[in-house]
Chains A and B, each alone.
Chain A
Amino acid sequence: MTLSLVAALGLMAACALYLAALTARAGAGLVDGGADLPGWAAMFAGAGVMVAGVGLADHLALVARFGLQAAHPAMGLVLAAMAGLIVQKRLWIAARLAGLASPGEALGRYYGSVTLRIAMLTLAILFALPWSAHLLSGTAQAVEAATGGAVARAPAVWVLAFFLFLPAVIGGWRATVLFLAMQAVLLAMLIVALAALAEGTLATPGFLDAGIPVAEGILRDMIPGVIQNSAGIGKQTAQGGIFSAMAIISTALVFTGVALSPGMLYLAQTTAAGRSKGFGAVWLVAGLGGGLMLVLLPFLAARLPFLPEALGAVEPLAAVGFTFLLVTAGQLAAGFFTTSGTLIVTREVILPFIVPGLSPRGQRLAARIALALAYAALATLAAFAPRFSAVFGGLALPFAVQLLPALIGLCFIRWISRAAVIAGLVFGLLLVTFTEPLGLILFEGLFLDLPWGRWPLTIHSAAWGLAFNLGVVLLASVFTARGAGRAHRDRLHDEFAARWALPESRPNARTALWSLTLIWAFFAMGPGAILGNSFFSRPVFTEAETALGLPSLWVWQILFWLIGCALVWWLAHRAHLGQTSSDPLRRIDFRDPAQVPGPARAPDWIAAGLARVTQRAR
């Protein structure tokens, strides 16, 4: 087992190294991959990150513990595909029209706000370090468990981080995305093969025969109510499980957090023109990703505690495959978030402000040093501070969801103002912080006990934050819509309207699309999903019980996943949100009028600090 696993991981590392060396020889840009990443790689890497970005091992453990109610939030992949389509095409166009080359620069220059730039950078760092460290730590723990302690957790962290670092530092962004795309295909294959092998060869009863074994008191194939009057995790135990319908829809938002994370936005901005966004959203994120998580993961979760041993008894390489699956998922997400976050920070802070005016060679060196420091920090956090990483990293995804109003403003709604976005963001981030462990631990440690715990009323922190965020944005926009900065924002929207307007020919179809989407969300994962508990086993308006042989909730999930895929297809292809064109774009001068013209230069305090260090070194 240990030798086979090490050989498999070594083979992946060799592939990464080979690909990185080829990329370096081809001469693609280190920081942005030449801003024309191949569509297929962006599609597969993006879909893989969507599945792995929320923590596949954690998701699997939750499904094994709570049953189908915990699998239901994976419907959020459909929601994430929709959110990605809505935001990413316009962001891509903005990047080409106005030279807004990174997500922080796009928001910062559109709203004329340094605060938003800093918020985006902070978010990128949260994803790159604590969240990635949390994922990497879990991955190393899986390696330690699989090898029976022969490979300890801390050395595993360093080795795994080193082999993620290599493609990034040698080949840069392009090599990273190409390698991640390869890992994503491998991930999909492993999930399908392992589920098929487990069902086909193991003699013990599986998901279809015996369901997912859960502790007493937990509803394994039912949603425990629309909402529960629970003070939250850590304060009160929810009856029947924590995944009420409101918990499901609010947890599904977390997948949207992956789609709106700085790394995913950067990936969208640096992809070549074409139909890849639409194809990836429909067939890979919503279709394949949703299918894997909703249809196949329950098969693995049903046998989870003994799955590696049982598979190993049938075929030793299958047990290796299971650990390899967890490692691939962890590496995929950690590598993506760390590399993208570091390159965003390099692009937005290091190159323009800390060491401005570098030659292309100097810029590459600066990016490589930044990557080395970031991966060293990642491995240190994952190896020595896993609890710190879990507490801080837990904020990354719900924080990313709070960017939604700002991004919607940039892409579609011109009356959303800077003041409204910042006010909403502040409220959203506060609400998230105080419904997640970090805020609770700090506040209760410093002051007094709060009456609520994590995710009060079984509503995820992302939804608490977004509800307040949206409310404040709408309220503040009423007063600030026509304030300073409107003319500046109008320039981008006028260009969108002139050349990139959504199809107007069938406005009724657009109304139908949004109405159907809301209805779908209500039944697929909102309060209406409660009907799925018994809809196919005890149909409404009848007294009869049908002998379906499958859990009613599982059939409901599959049905609404398929309907959701159709809606994503409509959004991508009929509403033209899934394709970008390589036709030449008319560049617009989108500098903030208040900004001082001229080349970027380091702020005096940074320049003075650097000079002190460099002069001392001489």
Chain B
Amino acid sequence: MSGVPQSDRIQRLDRHALVMAVWLPAAFLATAVFHHGFGPGGAWWVAGGFGVLLAGFGAHVIVNAVLGTDFSAREVALALFAFALATLAIIFSVLLTPGFAARFFWPAALGMMALAGAAILYMVIRNGPRAAFARFDIIRDNNPRRASRLPHRGGRA
């Protein structure tokens, strides 16, 4: 941290605060809507909760576009962790809670798929299909021959 110029540190701080300002209200609202949805509210409220999360994601993308930045490694890690946790929670609820699957399987599954789809769509639009796929293509990293880096062979810089 000490090697980073102060102006860069402050810019990062400002962006981080803006991202927090986006996610804090979205998370609060989504929590309330999910709480109602998985209680007496029903499927449409669950869908509404996912809608709020998608709106938060959209606002985060707008922040990135306006500031000319991308998701930081920590943000991606946090998002993946939360996504995995939510997936596990849904799976366990389906398996262990009687009646959950009948009421909430489809809205929850479709919501999770919508979140994943939004992230993939963002990556494809921002990076193009090849570069978006390359982010997950760890097999190629096991073969770091010089020729594999040539642009006409789809190599990475």
Contact = CB atoms under 8 A, between A and B. Distances in A.
A272 to B, nearest CB: 9
B29 A28 contact: no
Given A15-B20, A25-B9, A185 B25 contact: yes
Contacts of B6: 26-27
Given A193-B29, A315-B36, A185 B9 contact: no
A317 interface: yes
A443 B16 CA distance: 53
Contacts of B18: 38, 40-41
B9 to A, nearest CB: 4
Interface string B8-29: 0110111011101110111011
Contacts of A181: 17, 21
Given A25-B1, A26-B6, A41 B32 contact: no
Contacts of B127: none
Contacts of A26: 6, 9-10, 12-13
A321 interface: yes
Given A25-B1, A189-B29, A315-B32, A178 B24 contact: no
Interface string B31-70: 1100110010100000000000000000000000000000
Contacts of B35: 315-317
Contacts of B14: 38, 40-41, 178
Interface string A309-347: 000001111100100000000000000000000000000
Nearest to B11: A38
A396 interface: no
B55 to A, nearest CB: 10
B22 to A, nearest CB: 7
A28 B10 contact: yes
Contacts of B21: 44, 181-182, 185
A189 B16 contact: no
Contacts of A41: 14, 17-18
A316 B16 CA distance: 31
B74 to A, nearest CB: 12
A182 B24 contact: yes
B25 A189 contact: yes
A17 B36 CA distance: 30
B5 to A, nearest CB: 10
A19 interface: yes
A178 B17 contact: yes
Interface string B110-154: 000000000000000000000000000000000000000000000
Given A189-B25, A315-B36, A23 B20 contact: no
A186 B10 contact: no
B28 A186 contact: yes
Nearest to A184: B21
Nearest to A185: B21
B16 A22 contact: yes
Given A26-B13, A27-B9, A317 B31 contact: yes
Contact of A22 (B13, B24, B32): B13
A185 B22 contact: yes
Contacts of B10: 26-28, 34, 174
A558 interface: no
Interface string A148-182: 00000000000000000000000000100011011
Which of A26, A41, A174, A182 is most buried by chain B, counting CB atoms within 10 A of its CB?
Answer: A26
A8 interface: yes
Contacts of B29: 189, 193
Contacts of B9: 25-27
A151 to B, nearest CB: 20
B70 to A, nearest CB: 18
Nearest to B35: A317
B20 A321 contact: no
B24 A15 contact: yes
B52 to A, nearest CB: 9
A182 B20 contact: yes
A190 B31 CA distance: 13
A317 B24 contact: no
Contacts of A34: 10
Contact of A186 (B12, B25, B36, B39): B25
A193 B24 CA distance: 14
Interface in A185-209: 185-186, 188-190, 193
Nearest to B25: A189
Contacts of A189: 25-26, 28-29
Contacts of B39: 315
Contacts of B41: 315
A19 B17 contact: yes
Contacts of A317: 31-32, 35-36
A192 B33 CA distance: 14
Interface string A23-38: 1011110000010001
Contacts of A314: 36
Interface string A255-278: 000000000000000000000000
A185 B59 CA distance: 12
A315 B13 CA distance: 36
A23 B13 contact: yes
Contacts of B24: 15, 182, 185-186
Nearest to A178: B17
Contacts of A186: 24-25, 28
4 closest Cβ pairs, A-B complex: A189-B25, A317-B32, A178-B17, A38-B14
18 contacts: A8-B28, A19-B17, A23-B13, A26-B6, A26-B9, A26-B10, A174-B13, A182-B17, A185-B21, A186-B24, A186-B28, A188-B25, A189-B28, A193-B29, A314-B36, A315-B35, A317-B31, A321-B28
Interface of A: 8, 15, 19, 22-23, 25-28, 34, 38, 40-41, 44, 174, 178-179, 181-182, 185-186, 188-190, 193, 314-318, 321
